[in-house]
Structure 1
Amino acid sequence: MKKIAIAERADWKQTAEGLGFLFHTIDGEPYWDESAYYQFSLAQIERDLEDPTTEIHEMCMDLVDRVVRSEELLDRLSIPAGYYDLIRTSWLEGHPHLYGRMDFSYGGSGPAKLLELNYDTPTSLYEAAAFQWGWLEQCIERGMIPARADQFNSIDTRLHEALAALQIKKPFYFASIKGSVEDKATTDYLRLIAGKVGIESRHIDVEDIGLLDGRFVDLENRWIPHLFKLHAWEFIFHEEFGQAVAAADTQFFEPPWKAVLSNKGILPLLWEQHKGHPNLLAAHLDTDVSKPVPKGWVRKPFFSREGANIELRTADDQVVREEGPYDDAPFILQEFAALPRFGDSYTLVGSWVIGDQAAGIGIREDNSLITKDTSRFLPHLILD
């Protein structure tokens, strides 16, 4: 695994904006960064990332089955008791899901270490699936990288297959939070794929979803039969919207059982079930958050986004913390696994699962050991 500097395409910003990738720059700083790329060998991809992703995903599915059958475990995940039946039913009835992303600490050697699961509302989808693939193709065409270069990236293809397999005949609504450019781009990308496989799709802002006679409806009071909502279940459970989900006849993506995997309380359960697994980090419930984080550990809230409210303390007593609003739920302590450093940046590998299959990776960089929503996205390639 190497980080290799490369000239940017002179027209990449025009290309991005023409494709609707409007958040390539955030607050004047680059989000998409093609001044360098990460190079992997095929063995590194297959042995160290693809195979562990497949194995961990299977472990996660087994754990969901165990959790939904146990009120004790659902309670340990701080899921409100009123939603136990909803979650259990959605799993036992086999409600389908589309995607998820695992975040790994991996520097090119040794086992990749799972830092967390993003299995309900993961973003960075479009740039991983489509824009970095376009970068690869154009750079090959322009002679900027070797013609034999490849990329671990079947995300787009797998999404086409997963959406086609649903065989949805009624309108499929895709919802994101009003005003979020990134979230809207994610749902627009999924809508584009839905259209290509013959699914009629419509966009709606989450805030505009209404309720009429027990059914979720759009602004014209039309029934919403299928809904992809880029809005986390742990938020929905505490909103008026959530109280109507069980009785409504809307099919949700991601389904309610994803709430089992979408909080960091799942990490101690994974460790208990597979203690010593080479790709897992020791983790347990943090029973006293008033105490300092021990050396060599990371404190994480059950529910947080983009690195918020995470605090870590390295073995040599360096403390890094990120402030945020997610301080009203339990925390875990997870063994610290330092992100590899390339130059002045710390690097995170996001590994995508689409339709239960490992499908590709996206690379994020930050000047801090904590990856945030503003962390840069860099392309990658495979070259032996």
Structure 2
Amino acid sequence: MERVALPERPGWKALAEKLGFGFHSMYGAPYWDESRAYCFSLSEIENDIEDPTTELWQMCLELVAHVVADSALMERLAIPQAYHAWIKESWLRSDPSLYGRFDFHYDGTGPAKMLEFNADTPTALYETGFFQWVWLEQQIQAGVLSDDTDQFNSVQDALIERLQQMFAPGYRLHFSSVKNLEEERATVRYLEDCAKQAGLEPKFVAIEDIGIDHQGRFADDDDYVIDTIFKLYPWEDMLRERFGPALLTAPQKWLEPPWKAILSNKGILPLLWEMFPDHPNLLPSWFADDVPIWVKETAHVQKPLFSREGANIRVVRPGRPILETEGQYGAEGSIVQAYHPPARFGADHMMIGSWVIGGNTCGLCIREDSSEVTQDLSRFVPHFIQA
């Protein structure tokens, strides 16, 4: 694995905007950065990213089965008691999952270390599945990359295939996200396009515009009853908001399904470490109220059970300044994870995201930042595989 400097495509910003990628730059700084790219060997992808992701996904499924059988564990994860049985029923019904993203630190020399699992509302899907692939094709056409260059990226095909497995042709599938958040709307718009290619009928409704009819069913702003809805909105918030109790009786199906409320919680990190101690792709982790004294004297990272985009992360390394990110998370509790340094190239730190769609590992994305903590404005950098 190496980072290489590459020429940018002429006019790529205009192309991005034409293709709906208007947030390629944010607040005067680049979000998409194609002045460099990461080069991997096929063995690094297959052995160090793809295989561990597949194994970790299976471990997570084992963990869900373990948690739903023990209400005390759901309480440990700060899941409100009123929803325990509902989440368990979702698991026992085998409610299908669409996608998720594991985040790793990996430098090409040792096992990839799982930082967390974005199981419920991961973004960067459009950039990974579509725009990154366009970049590869155009750089090959321009002769910047050789004809035998590849990319670990079947994300779009996997999404379409998964949606075809889950729904009959012509099925009306609702999609939702928060109003006025461009990145999230772009993710959902991309999924809507994949649904069209899968032969479905996508319909968007902003999360704020969903209502409840007189029969207790959720409906959109055109009064269509919602049968199944993909929501780019976290379960931990839905379970605590005023319409939350209606979830228990409404007939709707949800993507991601209710049992993903377990896996979208960073409390799975100590639980996975307890179930699979010394696994090469896991980092030692504990709940914050159960941390051995010796851990506090070593390098470690404290993370809230619920947080997004690197908010409220505290990195402690003895003899060095504490790194803390801002945010409004942490009231429900936190975990402590052993520190593992990110790969560093010059002044930049990188993190790998590995996508799982329908249970299959199918692509990766890379984020860079001058900070060790990846946040919402961290740059997206493309990758390729060189034979």
TM-score (normalizing by structure 1): 0.98
Letter in 1 for 2:272: L
Gaps of 5+ in 2: none
Query: What secondary structure is seen at the aligned counterpart in 1 of 2:245?
Result: helix
Q: Is the 8 A contact 1:299 1:333 kept in 2?
A: yes
C-alpha separation in 1, matches of 2:320 and 2:290:
19
Structure 1 residue aligned with 2:334:
331
- 5 Å-filtered alignment, 1:44-55, equals 44-55=44-55
Structure 1 residue aligned with 2:150:
150
User: CA RMSD for the aligned pairs?
Assistant: 1.4
Structure 1 residue aligned with 2:64:
64
Can you list the C-alpha shifts for 1:285-319, whole angstroms capped at 9, x where unaligned?
Answer: 11189x99643100000000011000001254342
Q: Is the 8 A contact 1:123 1:186 kept in 2?
A: yes
Structure 2 residue aligned with 1:302:
305
Letter in 1 for 2:92: L
C-alpha separation in 2, matches of 1:274 and 1:266:
12
Determine whether 1:43 maps to 2:43.
yes
Determine whether 1:320 maps to 2:338.
no
Letter in 2 for 1:82: A
Structure 1 residue aligned with 2:288:
286
C-alpha separation in 2, matches of 1:131 and 1:180:
19
C-alpha separation in 1, matches of 2:100 and 2:371:
24
Structure 1 residue aligned with 2:11:
11
C-alpha separation in 2, matches of 1:59 and 1:18:
41
C-alpha separation in 2, matches of 1:321 and 1:203:
37
Determine whether 1:357 maps to 2:357.
no
Letter in 2 for 1:284: W
- 5 Å-filtered alignment, 1:1-384, equals 1-168=1-168, 169-213=170-214, 214-287=216-289, 294-384=297-387
Q: Is the 8 A contact 2:98 2:256 kept in 1?
A: yes
Q: Please state how far the C-alpha of 1:327 moved relative to its aligned partner.
A: 2.5
Q: Please state how far the C-alpha of 1:366 moved relative to its aligned partner.
A: 0.4
Gaps of 5+ in 1: none
| Identical-pair percentage | 48
Query: What secondary structure is seen at the aligned counterpart in 2 of 1:20?
Result: coil
Query: What secondary structure is seen at the aligned counterpart in 2 of 1:16?
Result: helix
Q: Is the 8 A contact 2:305 2:330 kept in 1?
A: no
Total equivalences in the alignment? 383
C-alpha separation in 2, matches of 1:319 and 1:128:
32
Q: Please state how far the C-alpha of 1:170 moved relative to its aligned partner.
A: 3.6
Can you list the C-alpha shifts for 1:198-221, whole angstroms capped at 9, x where unaligned?
Answer: 111111110000011200011122
C-alpha separation in 2, matches of 1:279 and 1:258:
21
Q: Please state how far the C-alpha of 1:15 moved relative to its aligned partner.
A: 1.1
Q: Please state how far the C-alpha of 1:284 moved relative to its aligned partner.
A: 0.3
Query: What secondary structure is seen at the aligned counterpart in 1 of 2:205?
Result: strand
Q: Is the 8 A contact 2:265 2:306 kept in 1?
A: yes
Q: Is the 8 A contact 2:113 2:280 kept in 1?
A: yes
